[in-house]
């Protein structure tokens, strides 16, 4: 794995030691000797992770971490505090400042590399989501990615612990902070995940209990598509380094050594829940942006881009199998007069209601699109010309037989003209079918509107 690591320590020997170790593992290493230089280096070099000494003159590591996490541009960069301080209150101070982990000097090489690799993987996922959100923001201009890490209050946590006394202790710790569900083995864990009303934001797995294979459970969780990104925190005995390293290789996000310090548990849980919520918001932003790129914002129907992309696939599929497919070209009659007489808000109301009636009159498999101002296209897979004409007539009547509410207590009559065309052969193209439907639509307009006309 290649990544850029910023090492910050005011003692040159410590910097050179970490630099040598990380370089040997093919990381790109950037260094800084104090807090001010560290903040500058983060802005200049955009590291994937920061290894930060706590005890430094001037701005110490705790303050540097706070400033990084308070800056929207750097809050997502993982920070690992590396220090000679080894008391629980020291770790807690760093974690509360926003640090993602806390390593005590002298640093164990295996622990160092496993934590760096795990956090870098998470950072790369976050970067990809942020980049997609940025690209889509530029496309649609309405969806924004979250500015900073959200809070971690009232998290939905699953504890997997077969020992009743340990469960009671964990419930006492989590009470009032998070909603804690409990499972005791693999079947009850998978059942809890499957039937959870809301997705779990953190799963805590106890390793080392007699008769309980926590690593197999971790493997099962990571094999589920819906759970591959859910944070997992394992609790291990200090002597169980072998299982800890295997857990980290499986994708576990964090760990705690027994005996568990209450405040450190809450701090680490908060860090994982914050990151989970941040990445979920990014995923939501990307999904919403993608949906906006293919749907019409006013009516909720698919847009022209989606029609052009997917109609070709539909035509190829049905033509290659000798099956039928038809198209309706739909246009609201005298729509300009609606806008001129009642205003554009009324026109928008007409278009929304027209789209709603169109959706009700068609099947879920049909492709309803708004392709222009008052122009719509409905693709009818598996539908021949006579049936497509019936569907068009049903849609025409659904529009003409009920006035449209344009707000302010006003109801106005609306009609549509519809042209119908169908797939006629293996060499037929989407452009040909749409052109014939448009020609039939123009014929319906010429013949008096409010009618359905078949393509010649």
Q: Which residues are known catalytic residues?
A: 374
- CB atoms inside a 10 Å sphere around CB 447: 11
Cβ–Cβ < 8 Å for 203, 158: yes
218 membership: H or E segment, kind and range? helix 214-223
CA neighbours closer than 13 Å in the CB half-sphere of residue 327 = 28
The single residue listed with the structure tokens 């344009």 is 406
How far is residue 7 from each of residues 101, 298, 401, 410, measured CA to CA in Å? 14, 51, 73, 69
130 membership: H or E segment, kind and range? helix 109-140
Cβ–Cβ < 8 Å for 368, 306: no
335-342 and 344-360 helices cross at what angle (nearest 10)? Answer: 140
**How long, in residues, is the chain?**
456
d(CA 370, CA 378): 9
d(CA 433, CA 325): 10
404 three-class SS: strand
d(CA 395, CA 361): 6
Cβ–Cβ < 8 Å for 452, 418: yes
d(CA 105, CA 109): 11
Q: Checking DSSP bridges between strand 4-8 and strand 49-53, what pairing results, if any?
A: parallel
């Amino acid at each position: 794995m290649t990544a850029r690591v910023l090492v910050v320590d005011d003692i040159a020997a410590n910097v050179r030691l970490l630099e040598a170790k990380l370089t040997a593992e093919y990381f790109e290493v950037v260094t800084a000797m104090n807090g001010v230089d560290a903040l500058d280096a983060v802005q200049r070099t955009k590291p994937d992770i920061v290894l930060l000494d706590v005890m430094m003159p001037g701005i110490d590591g705790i303050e540097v971490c706070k400033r990084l996490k308070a800056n929207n541009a750097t809050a997502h960069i993982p920070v690992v505090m590396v220090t000679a301080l080894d008391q629980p209150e020291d770790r807690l101070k760093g974690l509360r400042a926003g640090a993602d982990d806390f390593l005590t000097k002298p640093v164990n090489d295996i622990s160092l590399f496993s934590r760096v690799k795990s956090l870098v993987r998470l950072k790369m996922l976050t970067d990809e989501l942020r980049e997609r959100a940025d690209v889509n923001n530029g496309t649609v201009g309405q969806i924004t990615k979250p500015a900073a890490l959200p809070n971690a209050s009232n998290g939905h946590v699953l504890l997997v612990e077969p020992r009743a006394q340990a469960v009671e202790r964990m419930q006492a710790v989590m009470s009032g902070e998070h909603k804690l569900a409990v499972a005791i083995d693999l079947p009850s864990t998978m059942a809890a995940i499957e039937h959870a009303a809301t997705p779990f934001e953190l799963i805590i797995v106890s390793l080392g209990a007699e008769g309980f294979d926590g690593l197999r459970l971790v493997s099962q969780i990571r094999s589920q598509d819906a759970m591959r990104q859910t944070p997992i925190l394992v609790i291990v005995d200090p002597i169980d380094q072998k299982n800890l390293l295997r857990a980290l290789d499986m994708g576990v996000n964090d760990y705690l050594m027994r005996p568990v310090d209450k405040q450190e548990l809450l701090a680490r849980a908060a860090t994982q829940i914050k990151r989970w919520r941040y990445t979920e918001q990014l995923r939501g932003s990307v999904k919403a942006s993608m949906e906006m790129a293919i749907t019409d914002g006013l009516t909720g129907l698919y847009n022209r881009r989606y029609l052009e992309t997917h109609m070709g696939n539909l035509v190829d599929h049905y033509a290659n199998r000798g099956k039928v497919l038809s198209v309706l070209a739909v246009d609201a009659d005298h729509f300009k007069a609606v806008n001129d007489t009642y205003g554009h808000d009324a026109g928008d109301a007409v278009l929304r209601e027209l789209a709603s009636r169109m959706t009700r009159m068609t099947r879920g498999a049909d492709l309803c699109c708004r392709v222009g101002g008052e122009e719509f296209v409905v693709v009818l897979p598996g539908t021949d010309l006579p049936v497509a004409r019936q569907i068009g007539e049903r849609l025409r009547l659904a529009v003409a037989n009920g006035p449209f509410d344009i707000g302010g207590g006003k109801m106005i009559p609306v009609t549509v003209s519809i042209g119908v065309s169908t797939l006629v052969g293996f060499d037929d193209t989407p452009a040909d079918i749409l052109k014939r439907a448009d020609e039939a639509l123009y014929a319906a307009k010429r013949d008096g509107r409010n009618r359905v006309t078949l393509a010649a």
